[in-house]
A and B are shown apart, each in its own frame.
Chain A
């Protein structure tokens, strides 16, 4: 298998190369990082709903849509990318999704251990240090290949990450930033800023290639040949085109920010006949947390919304309907024009 140990590359190539290799059906490991920052959205996301495009334009931050799932992320040169491309039926690739991630995250875990970061695997695809995530990963089937992509996070710009996301109000943005800070760590945060002098890009890429060789066999040195360069050029015309980046997916009524496995921040809006309902909440390990309900609907008694928040706090997602039914069963409680179904629309992922 080939190893493309490329170091810093133009931001577009940091994405296009693995798409090109996958479409060419060439198995390889790419180790690289972008020379300049950009935002990368998941395959099915609607960029106008997810990204503050005006902020990105003003700050010269381009946006790219990858053919891999997941959410919008801010990427820059302080994140070292690993991109493994395998044939769809490669004997190296376990069929089960969890086994696939477990196998191919092991080299990354080993690198973290070698440099003194106690990272561990959390199924299905997270790499954690304690309760904090330290690497983002995803898989996409591209052409007849599987592309497994992820990053070694030397340092992270939490401020810009929270700024590039399209979030309707600043309060929620501040909360998103704090939650990401609480739930995403980096190598420099774990080992100190000075550690980055020792663990520079070349050293870490060498460590990663050695660890991947243990499970994939020896690599040969990959060069950007004419076929690969042509494919990248061809992809530039499609994947950097506005039609691709702005393509619409399903309608979203709010925002879901996945912070790590088991923690999502949700903001929902729904127009019921009795008025607009807005909710902000977290889903922590399948349970509601920090729920906040607002809107322009009428309710009686005036403490009803607070009471509902109290009842819903800590509730499992499967119990929400029952809790709401208990609220509606009490004849003292009145929310004209807002049904249980309306609430179910706003208190969901």
Chain B
């Protein structure tokens, strides 16, 4: 669905720092959402941590750089990193071009798949959360 010009697929789960999560069998795929990539501008670097890295919900586990800002990536669930999108090492702009497709960032094996239910999901919740953030980002 589109909310104020931002594409936010309603079938995805969202971490509050604007990373999306998709369930694929018993693993999770995550990436940056459309709102975040538009706010960040041109992405110039994505850190791909080593496979096997333990992730803790809400803790940073990687960095992403837009040229103007070196930001962090937060784990959406407890789990283990099982793959990073290596194509982003050479072409980080995939995130800007196709953030839900070729611009995916990491694959995670969650400790408990049920944790995704703690993420933002469902049309109403996504809508409410994004509208609030759009308002926040209008400040100053």
A251 x B90 contact (CB < 8 A): yes
Q: Is the interface of B mostly helix, strand, loop or mixed?
A: mixed
Could you tell me the distance between the alpha carbons of A251 and B68 in the complex, rounded to whole angstroms?
A: 21
Q: Which of A88-140 contact B (CB under 8 A)?
A: 94-97, 99, 101, 103, 124-125, 138-140
**Closest A residue by C-beta to B47:** A44
Could you tell me the distance between the alpha carbons of A249 and B45 in the complex, rounded to whole angstroms?
A: 9
Q: Which residues of B contact A251 (CB under 8 A)?
A: 89-90
CB distance from A80 to the nearest CB of B (A): 22
B90 x A250 contact (CB < 8 A): yes
Q: Which residues of B contact A258 (CB under 8 A)?
A: 67
Interface-centre pick from A68, A95, A125 (highest chain B CB count, 10 A): A95
Contact of B66 among A69, A99, A101 (CB under 8 A): A69
Q: Which of the candidate stretches B1-9, B21-29, B69-77, B115-123 sits at the interface with the other chain?
A: B69-77
Contact of A140 among B45, B70, B89, B137 (CB under 8 A): B70
B128 within 8 A of A: no
Q: Which residues of B contact A99 (CB under 8 A)?
A: 139-140
Interface size on A, residues (CB 8 A): 24
Could you tell me the distance between the alpha carbons of A140 and B66 in the complex, rounded to whole angstroms?
A: 10
A138 x B70 contact (CB < 8 A): yes
A141 within 8 A of B: yes
A69 x B39 contact (CB < 8 A): no
Could you tell me the distance between the alpha carbons of A138 and B72 in the complex, rounded to whole angstroms?
A: 15
Q: Which residues of A contact B65 (CB under 8 A)?
A: 42-44, 69
Q: Which of B58-86 contact A (CB under 8 A)?
A: 63, 65-72
Q: Which residues of B contact A68 (CB under 8 A)?
A: 70
Q: Which residues of A contact B140 (CB under 8 A)?
A: 94, 96, 99, 103
CB distance from B93 to the nearest CB of A (A): 8
Q: Mark B41-67, 1 if CB is under 8 A from A, else 0.
A: 100110100000000000000010111
Q: Mark A242-269, 1 if CB is under 8 A from B, else 0.
A: 0000000111000000100000000000
Contact of B40 among A43, A97, A103 (CB under 8 A): A97
Interface-centre pick from B63, B67, B89 (highest chain A CB count, 10 A): B67
A62 within 8 A of B: no
Could you tell me the distance between the alpha carbons of A67 and B72 in the complex, rounded to whole angstroms?
A: 11
**Closest B residue by C-beta to A94:** B140
Q: Which residues of B contact A42 (CB under 8 A)?
A: 65
Contact A96 B39, CB 8 Å, known A43-B63, A68-B70, A69-B70: yes
Q: Which residues of A contact B45 (CB under 8 A)?
A: 43-44, 69, 249-250
Q: Which residues of A contact B137 (CB under 8 A)?
A: 95-96
CB distance from A256 to the nearest CB of B (A): 9
Could you tell me the distance between the alpha carbons of A95 and B133 in the complex, rounded to whole angstroms?
A: 9
Contact of A125 among B68, B72, B90, B139 (CB under 8 A): B68
Could you tell me the distance between the alpha carbons of A103 and B140 in the complex, rounded to whole angstroms?
A: 8
B68 x A101 contact (CB < 8 A): yes
Could you tell me the distance between the alpha carbons of A125 and B69 in the complex, rounded to whole angstroms?
A: 10
CB distance from B96 to the nearest CB of A (A): 12
Contact of B68 among A44, A67, A139, A250 (CB under 8 A): A139
Could you tell me the distance between the alpha carbons of A332 and B59 in the complex, rounded to whole angstroms?
A: 59
CB distance from A317 to the nearest CB of B (A): 11
A70 x B136 contact (CB < 8 A): no
Could you tell me the distance between the alpha carbons of A168 and B137 in the complex, rounded to whole angstroms?
A: 44
B41 x A97 contact (CB < 8 A): yes
A97 x B66 contact (CB < 8 A): yes
Could you tell me the distance between the alpha carbons of A70 and B44 in the complex, rounded to whole angstroms?
A: 9
CB distance from A126 to the nearest CB of B (A): 10
**Closest B residue by C-beta to A256:** B44
For the complex of A and B, 6 pairs with smallest distance between CB atoms: A250-B89, A94-B140, A44-B45, A69-B70, A140-B70, A69-B65
B residues bordering A, Cβ < 8 Å?
39-41, 44-45, 47, 63, 65-72, 89-90, 136-137, 139-140
Query: Can you list 14 A-B contacts (CB < 8 A)?
Result: A43-B45, A43-B65, A43-B70, A68-B70, A69-B65, A69-B66, A69-B70, A97-B41, A97-B66, A97-B68, A99-B139, A103-B140, A124-B68, A258-B67
- Can you name 6 extra interface pairs (CB under 8 A) apart from A43-B65, A141-B72, A249-B45? A69-B65, A70-B67, A124-B68, A138-B68, A139-B69, A141-B70
A residues bordering B, Cβ < 8 Å?
42-44, 67-70, 94-97, 99, 101, 103, 124-125, 138-141, 249-251, 258
